[in-house]
Amino acid sequence: MKAFTTLTARAVPLDLVNVDTDRIVPARFLRRPRSEGYENFLFHDLRETDREFVLDRPEYRDAQILVAAENFGCGSSREAAVWALAGWGLRAWIAPSFGDIFFENSFKNGALPIVLPLERVAALREQLKARPGSEVTIDLTAQTVTFPDGSVQAFDVDPFRKECLVAGIDEIDLTLRHADAIARYEDNARKASPWLFDGYH
């Protein structure tokens, strides 16, 4: 997995609350193999009806940071939502809150979801709308976001997720370092609850 440390890039504002993962990638595309490139389906139906959709405006075309509103990525657990955003070239998303499953799925694909206070995210979207194409800097090591107006906002990140992102660690490899603990747990569980093992029924 690609490591994530700092990123200075154009940011694109998206002024909608409760953007669900069905909207990010409509369900009918989920049967397609990943090799087809899920970025082709990103916000597919929204963009079809809204020709001015913000991602299609030339000043945001090479944006790598998305600045969204509350509950971005809610709904379905489809990881394809992250694949589509990442495939488009986005590497970080900032919002006041995210769908919990989408939030976790982001990290698994080397992307960084950042939660900032509601008013700060709204201010950031306003700055980006006032000067389209402005850049934002994310420093994961220092845990700061630098806005186009030069103001610096600190953010929290789970230390586990930070370590995995900064080092580009494969989570399954990390887990398998605990293979003995898993085996011990299973031995005890098999004795305590045999009905949860070996096809008991």
Partner 1 sequence: MNGKTLYEKIWEQHEVATGPGGRTLLYIDRHLLHDGSFHAFEALRNAGRKVRRPDAAFATPDHYVPTTGRENITHPELRDKVETLERNATTARITFYPVRDDRQGIVHVIGPEQGITQPGITLVCGDSHTSTHGAMGALAFGIGASEVAHVLATQTLWQAKSRTFRVTIGGALREGVHSKDIILALIAKIGAFGGSGYTLEFAGEAIRALSMEARMTICNMSIEAGARSGLVAPDDVTFEYLAERPYAPKSADWEHAVARWRALPSDPDASFDREVALDASVLEPMATWGTSPEHAAPVSAVVPDPRAEPDAARRGSMEKALSYMDIAPGQRIDGLAIDRVFIGSCTNSRIEDLRVAANVIRGRKAVVPALVVPGSGLVKRAAEAEGLHRIFIDAGFEWRDAGCSMCVGMNGDLVGAGERCASTSNRNFEGRQGKGARTHLMSPAMAAAAAVTGKITDVRRLL
The footprint of partner 1 (CB under 8 A) covers 15-18, 20, 22-23, 26-28, 30-31, 34, 45-46, 69-71, 74-80, 82, 97-101, 104-105, 108-109, 122, 158-164, 171-172, 174-176, 178, 181-182, 185-186, 189, 193-201
Neighbouring C-beta atoms of residue 113, cutoff 10 Å: 23
Closest CA to 84 of 19, 172, 9, 178: 19
Helix axes 100-108, 159-167, angle to 10 degrees: 30
Would you say 17 or 152 has its CB closer to partner 1?
17
Shortest gap between Cβ of 96 and partner 1 (angstroms)? 9
**18 DSSP 8-state letter:** S
Shortest gap between Cβ of 173 and partner 1 (angstroms)? 9
Shortest gap between Cβ of 8 and partner 1 (angstroms)? 26
Would you say 61 or 190 has its CB closer to partner 1?
190
The CA distance from 187 to 141, in Å, is 40
Cα angle, residue 79 at apex, residues 49 and 75 outer, rounded to 5°:
65
Would you say 154 or 196 has its CB closer to partner 1?
196
The CA distance from 185 to 22, in Å, is 38
Shortest gap between Cβ of 199 and partner 1 (angstroms)? 5
The CA distance from 90 to 82, in Å, is 9
Return all residues near 7 (Cβ < 8 A) that are at least 6 apart. Answer: 64, 65, 91, 92, 112, 137, 138
Would you say 58 or 159 has its CB closer to partner 1?
159
Would you say 133 or 162 has its CB closer to partner 1?
162
Q: Is 189 helix (H, G, I), strand (E, B) or coil?
A: helix
Would you say 109 or 137 has its CB closer to partner 1?
109
Closest CA to 90 of 117, 115, 110: 110
Shortest gap between Cβ of 200 and partner 1 (angstroms)? 7
Shortest gap between Cβ of 78 and partner 1 (angstroms)? 7
